[in-house]
Structure 1
Amino acid sequence: MKLIIDCGSTKADWVIIDGVNILKRFKTEGFNPNYTDKDTITKIILNESSYKEYVSSISKIYFYGSGCGNIDNRIKVKEILESLFVGSEAEVTHDMMAACRSVLGNESGVVCILGTGSNSCYYDGETITEQSVSLGYILGDEGSGSYIGKKLLRDYCYKIMPEDLCLKFENEYDVKLETVIRSTYHSAQVSKYFASFAKFAYDNIENKYIYDLCSRCFDEFIDNFVTRYESVKKRDVGFVGSIAFYFQNIIKERLERRGFVLGKIVKEPIDGLIEFHCC
């Protein structure tokens, strides 16, 4: 049996397959090893019971994860998985490879991630030959859910957000200053906290302030993550992630303003990964 895990900072998709048959499919809390220690990751996995009846039968684990571009993080996750699934071999790689295999299969092109975080790469059909620098939610992640959410939260606190939206924001979230400070500076899941506000942007996208804020965020993403690839204007730009999926109309518009073409968008790459690993 094989276990496929596509793990983002917010949530993870798990699938257990035997040949071409899907035995179990479920979601768990996600994590990013850049910001989550070994004990916390272990607890997150152990808290899920859906896989436990198959533990002894799983021989191969394919783990795709945010933050796993770093070799130390890959080793950390591999050690955790192989200690919990005794007798299995874990192959750990980063979420960009999951995006490439899901969107392009064996074709070449530019693939972008826009979810809780953001990234992009050029894929030649087998390997990633060029990749953007991922600076994380503090320095980077332009266009992502955490980036949009952080902008909204900051504008609310500074009273830049229009008054009518401030009232709606207060009704939907606990945004008392002490809560914001505590959640921002004393939480292990800050990027997830920021990203939780992105839904407000989607729900109010017709508002000019929200539309303009999102436009600026996606323009920054395009500047830093799309224009860097020389061949990009000759190819469609593919996307993976919930932000790309829900904001695809405005992303399409911002890309076309720069002369780019929006390609395939996949909300969750797990379906493409099932097809890839069933072969």
Structure 2
Amino acid sequence: MEFIASLSAEAFEHNILQDVILICIVSYVFASLFYGMLRARSRGLHWNQLGKVPVDHLGVIDIAVAAILVLMFAGPYLLPYNPPDPEKKRTITDSMIILGFSTQIFFAGVTCFVVSLRHNVTESFGLYRSNLLVIVGSAVASFILMLASMYLLDSVLQLNDWLTERLGERQFQEVVNQMMSAEGQRLLILIIGACIVAPLCEEIIFRGYLYSVTKRYTGPIFAAICTGVLFGAVHGEVWSFIPLSILGIILACVYEFTGSLWSSILTHALFNGVSTFYMTHPEYSEQIKNACLLPFC
């Protein structure tokens, strides 16, 4: 307890996220070995074949690519905490915001390129499965399920109060702070990035690729949980870690249920779209500050 008390809230949050990411990585390694040994002993076991997301085209090289992607997203949290200089106030420019979203586009493009070397991207991500009714219906159902989860965490389990007692007043992600105060061109950039770029790119990377690679060497249940928790952790905020982890698991499930990445992309876009609406309307500011989760990912 003395050690925790000696840390700043930011350092404590950083250490928590660091531990979670390390647990995900170590769990994946041991789970892959465990599942591999089970399949070697019992040739009839094919957990990785369950569901509608294809994984047979993935190989050992994809583990290396997936590891690189994980390090790119999780790298800052694997390093020791480096407190910012209080005398140097960082200014966020429109160019920096565009660069951030452009980086997501770049890594999503690299992911698609790696997949295309051995398999058709459209088939791999199930993009050809365009049953609009199923995709929209599953997205709406997933969104409602996420809202129910948020209500359970906030109103029933009182996660917000529990975190406030231990971490003090909540510090939002920088992108959230920008969204709540942005106007004009910057607001337009953030809305496009949040509602179009982020859902598309993050779903390609996390569900389309990382989930599939993890499923290939373990199974759908472990893959959904592991990549979901990782998804929540790399967003860099303890307050929204549990809700976003739940969202990540739900997104993997809806992808597996429909076999189409469009369903998780639409769910993600719907989630961020509603979040953006709340963040850009000042009359909801107090509700947002008191909420367990400011739902943005």
- The verdict on a shared fold, with TM-score over 0.5 as the criterion, is no
With normalisation by structure 1, the TM-score equals: 0.25
Which has more strand, going by share of residues?
Answer: 1
Structure number with higher relative contact order (C-alpha < 8 Å, ≥ 6 residues apart):
2
Which has more helix, going by share of residues?
Answer: 2
